[in-house]
Amino acid sequence: MLQQLSWKVGGQQGEGIESTGEIFSMAMNRLGYFLYGYRHFSSRIKGGHTNNKICVRPTQVRTIPDDLDILVAFDQETIDVNYKELTENSIILADAKFSPIAPDDCKAPMYIVPFTEIAAELGTSLMKNMVAIGATAALLNLDKGVFQGVVDEIFGKKGQEVVEKNMQAIQQGFDTMAEHLGDRLGEWEIAPADGKHRMFMIGNDAIAFGALAAGVRFMAAYPITPASEIMEYMIKKLPLFGGAVIQTEDEIAAATMAIGSNYGGVRSFTASAGPGLSLMMEAIGLSGMTEQPLVIVDTQRGGPSTGLPTKQEQSDLMQMIYGTHGEIPKVVIAPSTGEEAFYDTIQAFNIAEELQVPVIILTDLQLSLGKQTVEPFDYSKVEIRRGKLVENEAIPEAEDKSYFKRYELTEDGVSPRVLPGMEHAIHHVTGVEHDETGKPSEASTNRKAQMDKRLGKLKHINFKDPIYVNAPYEEADILFVGFNSTRGVLEELQQTLIESDVKVNHAHIRLIHPFPVEEMRSLVAKAKKVVVVENNATGQLANIIKMNVGGHDKLVSVTKYDGTPFLPLQLAKQVKELLTDGNI
C-alpha cells in the first residue's frame, strides 16, 4: 500500500488535461486525502504540451515529488517529456489513438488503453478524460462511486444523460484497465485517509477569499499570468457584497484607481505579476507619500521582462522591497501555504490601514496556481482593524477654513485618517512634500519631520508570526531558510535529513519587510550553516539576510532559475553535495 501517490496526466493544451486532473483531485479530496498539484503549461491558448502533476497522501503534502507512479498520456510528447520521472514501480497508461511508443530506456511498463475509442463509442471522444480517470481508479482500487458526486456537480447542469454517460465512461475505463492489469489490479492503492473534509484550492483563491473576508469592496486590475484568478474570483463574488471590479486599461490605472478608492475609505486592491508591478512603481510611491492604504498582490513568475510568463520564479523580492523612487515605508508579506495566503491577506489589509502604507502580498507561481489541500478557514480568526480612521461625528468644526491635520506629527508617526465627505475634515493630499495639513512645503525642517514620521511608522507594525519556524534543535547543523512556495520541499528535506541524523532547523520568512531581524538573528546563531533556498539567480533572500543579520561566513545560497520548482530529491542531492564537500 502506497504512502504517497504521484500521478500525472499530460497532453496538448486545450484538450481537457486540466479538467482530468481536476476531477481526479476533487474525488481524492473528498475521500480526505491531502493533495498538492502543479501544472506545466505554456503561454498559448491551444496546443503545446501541458501536464498536471498531483501528489496524493493521507498526510499533509506541500510539494510535488520528483518521481511519478502513474503517467496518463494523451500524446507521444507526454511520454517523451515525462518518462524520466518514472521508476520500475511506475506505470504508463497511454491512449491507443496515437500509437504510443515507450523509449528504450523507459523503466516503467506501458499499458495501451483505447481511451478515445471507448469515449467515442459512448457518444463523444471528449469523454476520453473520464475513461482515463476510470482506468486510474482501477490501479488505485477505488470505488467508482467516489466520482459520482463530482460528476453530478460538474455535469449536472447539462442533464442526467450527460452525467450517466460520464459515469459509464469511468466504469468502462475501470473495466478495461482491470482486464489489462490482471493481478496488478489495485497495486497502487494508497493508505486510507482520515475522511475529513478540507478545502482544495489554488493560492490565488485563498488570497481572493482573504481579501473578501477582510472587507474588500473594490478591485481594479489588468489580466496577467499568474494573477488573473484573483480578479476572476472577485468578479464572481463581489456582486454578492455590493462591490465591484473594474478591469482597467493598464496596471497604472489599476494601482491608482485602488488608491482613489482607498482614499474614499473603501478597502481596495489590485493584483498583478512582475511586469505589472514594474508599471505600478510610481503609484506605490504615491501611496507611500500620501499615506493612502494600498494592497497589491505580486504573483511572481519568471522574469526579467516578459521572461518565463508561465513558470516558477522568486526574483521580484528586491524590487518589492525597494521599488519606487525615493524612500517610503512599505510592507512586504510572503505567505507560503494556502492557509497563510488567506490569513496574511487579511493581515495585509489591516496593516495597510493601521500604518497607512502600501502593502505588497508576495506570492510565486507555484503557490498562486498550485492546487492544494487547505484546512477550512476559521471565521473567528478574521479580525478587521482600521487603525486611526476617525468617525465623522468625532471631528470638531474647523476654524476659518483651516485644513484638517491629515499629516499630523504623532508619536507613532500615524496620523488620524479622515475621508472625503466628512463634514469638518477638508484637507489636501499631494505627492509633493507637504506639511501637516497636506499643503505643499519645501521647508527643510518640515521635510525632515515628515520623512521621519512616514518612515518611522514601520516600527509599529502589528504582524503575527513573521517567520514560520520549525526549529527542534538548540544547536543545529543546518538552518534552512526560504520564502513562498519552497516551504513544502524544505519541510520534506528537513525530515529526511533528521532521519539520517543531521540536525536541521527550518525558517520560512513570512514578513519580508520590515525584516524580522531579532527573530532571524537568534535562529542564525543556533546554526552552523544557514542554507538559503530560493528560485532566483542572484540569491536575493540570502542577500537580505546578510544585510539585516550578517552571518556571511555561515551562509550558503542554493538557487534555481530554470523555470521549474525545487523537487525534494533533487534538492537533497544538492544539499548532500554541500555536506560531503566539508562545507557543513
User: Which residues from 7-46 bind another protein, rule CB under 8 A?
Assistant: 30
Least Cβ distance, residue 413 to another protein (angstroms): 21
| Interacting span for another protein (CB under 8 A) from 299-307, 313-321, 329-337, 423-431 | 423-431
Sheet holding 371-374, edge to edge: 110-113, 86-95, 68-73, 5-12, 49-57, 34-40, 371-374, 199-202
Question: How far lies 478's CA from each of 70, 319, 390, 505, 515, in Å?
Answer: 34, 28, 49, 6, 21
Least Cβ distance, residue 380 to another protein (angstroms): 9
| Interacting span for another protein (CB under 8 A) from 43-51, 245-253, 544-552, 573-581 | 245-253
Contact 284, 255 (CB under 8 A): yes
Told to check if 61 binds another protein by CB under 8 A, we report no
Task: Decide whether 62 or 503 has the Cβ nearer to another protein.
Answer: 62
Considering CB under 8 A, how many residues would be counted as binding another protein? 75
C-alpha dihedral sign at 460, 360, 534, 203: positive
Least Cβ distance, residue 409 to another protein (angstroms): 20
Least Cβ distance, residue 207 to another protein (angstroms): 13
DSSP reduced 3-state for 328: coil
Tally the C-alpha atoms within 13 A of residue 459's C-alpha that lie toward its C-beta: 9
Cis omega before residue 192 (within 30°)?
A: no
Told to check if 426 binds another protein by CB under 8 A, we report yes
Told to check if 424 binds another protein by CB under 8 A, we report yes
Binders in 496-525 for another protein, by CB under 8 A: none
Least Cβ distance, residue 240 to another protein (angstroms): 7
One-letter identity of residue 526: K
Q: Which of 10, 16, 134, 243 binds another protein (CB under 8 A)?
A: 243
The angle, 0 to 180 degrees and rounded to 10, between the axes of the packed helices 203-213 and 228-237 is 40
Task: Decide whether 241 or 322 has the Cβ nearer to another protein.
Answer: 241
Binders in 212-241 for another protein, by CB under 8 A: 212-215, 217-218, 220, 237-241
Report the DSSP beta bridge partners of residue 295: 269, 359
Least Cβ distance, residue 348 to another protein (angstroms): 14
Element (H, E) at 172: helix 160-181
Task: Decide whether 30 or 447 has the Cβ nearer to another protein.
Answer: 30
Least Cβ distance, residue 515 to another protein (angstroms): 28
Binders in 139-158 for another protein, by CB under 8 A: none
Q: Which grid coordinates are listed for 95? A: 491512449
Burial of 474 (0-12, 13-18, 19+ CB in 10 A): exposed
Contacts of 307 (CB under 8 A, 6+ apart): 274, 301, 313
Characterize the bridge pairing of strands 331-333 and 511-513. Answer: antiparallel
Task: Decide whether 45 or 240 has the Cβ nearer to another protein.
Answer: 240
Cα Rg of the chain (Å, integer): 26
Q: Which of 423, 452, 475, 577 binds another protein (CB under 8 A)?
A: 423
Task: Decide whether 308 or 398 has the Cβ nearer to another protein.
Answer: 398
* Binding track, positions 348-377, relative to another protein; x by CB under 8 A: --------------------------x-xx
d(CA 325, CA 334): 22
Binders in 259-318 for another protein, by CB under 8 A: 259-268, 282-283, 285-286, 290
Task: Decide whether 375 or 577 has the Cβ nearer to another protein.
Answer: 375
d(CA 186, CA 36): 22
Sheet holding 331-333, edge to edge: 244-247, 218-221, 268-272, 294-300, 358-364, 331-333, 511-513
Q: Which of 41, 155, 200, 269 binds another protein (CB under 8 A)?
A: 200
Name which of 286, 271, 293, 287 is nearest 222 in CA terms: 271
Classify each residue of 438-472 as buried b or exposed e, where b means 16 or more C-beta atoms within 10 Å of its C-beta: beebeeeebeebbeebbeebbeebebeebbbbebe
Binders in 439-478 for another protein, by CB under 8 A: 439-440
Task: Decide whether 193 or 527 has the Cβ nearer to another protein.
Answer: 193
Q: Which of 405, 428, 526, 576 binds another protein (CB under 8 A)?
A: 428
Phi first, then psi, for residue 168 (nearest 5°) are: -60, -40
Report the DSSP beta bridge partners of residue 220: 246
Q: Which of 253, 369, 497, 507 binds another protein (CB under 8 A)?
A: 253
Task: Decide whether 96 or 422 has the Cβ nearer to another protein.
Answer: 422
Task: Decide whether 420 or 550 has the Cβ nearer to another protein.
Answer: 420
Q: Which of 46, 157, 197, 325 binds another protein (CB under 8 A)?
A: 197
Q: Which grid coordinates are listed for 554? A: 555561515
Task: Decide whether 168 or 324 has the Cβ nearer to another protein.
Answer: 324
Q: Which of 421, 442, 444, 580 binds another protein (CB under 8 A)?
A: 421
Q: Which of 142, 190, 201, 493 binds another protein (CB under 8 A)?
A: 201
| Interacting span for another protein (CB under 8 A) from 74-82, 95-103, 306-314, 415-423 | 415-423
